[in-house]
Structure 1
Amino acid sequence: MNYEFPEIQDFFGSYFHQDWMVEHDTPDQVIADFLQASDTETLLSINKELRFLLKQNKEELVLREYLLKELSCYYCYWNEWESGRAWLMHVLAALNGGLEEID
């Protein structure tokens, strides 16, 4: 278990697991499914952890390995995004959009 980012690890491990492409066609569908299933408290916690992770400014290859090995994220974002930071910013924006819809 990742003690620094338990909510993010739960999100990635539960939604971007090894077989996520069997359940969804796109990563954005995964995020939409998560938003639909999550309460405000969970979204706020993940938002906070994502912002903290982004502030660490990990180098690209370090971030890639961290997402896979420490946070159990099996989405190969580098095939579609210029960087892990760009993809995580996209995830953060989607979460923020989900929070705005709740308010």
Structure 2
Amino acid sequence: MDSSTDVICTVRNEILELIDSYTNESEFQENLLHKQYCFYYYPNEWASGPLWLHHIVEKFDTHLLKK
């Protein structure tokens, strides 16, 4: 990762806010795929959007701990 710690923390917090906004999978997918312009189609590999995004947050946390 070449991003600054501040950028990573900002994105991490935005992801957590997105997870907190979860009401149902259909609306979550709609938001990610069409409003957030996420080009990764997570349903092929993950049971839910929040599960996938928690994985991303864990990756950020691991990276931040190494700094």
Same fold (TM over 0.5): yes
1:53 maps to 18
Q: Partner amino acid for 1:66?
A: N
- Segments of structure 1 that go 5 or more residues without pairing to the other structure are 1-35
- Provide the C-alpha distance between the structure 2 equivalents of 1:69 and 1:58, rounded to a whole number of angstroms: 17
What secondary structure sits across from 2:40 in the alignment?
coil
- Provide, for residues 54-99 of structure 1, a one-character-per-residue CA deviation record: whole Å limited to 9, x for no partner: 1112310111110111111011110111111100110111111111
TM-score by length of 2: 0.91
Q: Cα deviations across residues 18-57 of structure 1 (Å, max 9, x unaligned)?
A: xxxxxxxxxxxxxxxxxx1211000110111111111112
Gapped regions of structure 2 (runs ≥ 5): none
Of structures 1 and 2, the one with the larger relative CO (CA 8 A, separation 6+) is 1
Q: Distance in 1 between matches of 2:46 and 2:57?
A: 14
> How many residues matched?
67
CA distance in 2, matches of 1:37, 1:58: 33
- Greater CA deviation, 50-59 or 38-47? 50-59
1:1-23 Cα offsets, whole Å, 9 max, x none, are xxxxxxxxxxxxxxxxxxxxxxx
* TM-score (ref. length: structure 1): 0.62
Alignment RMSD, CA only? 0.9
Percent identity over paired residues: 30
Question: Which 4+ stretches in 1 moved above 3 angstroms?
Answer: none
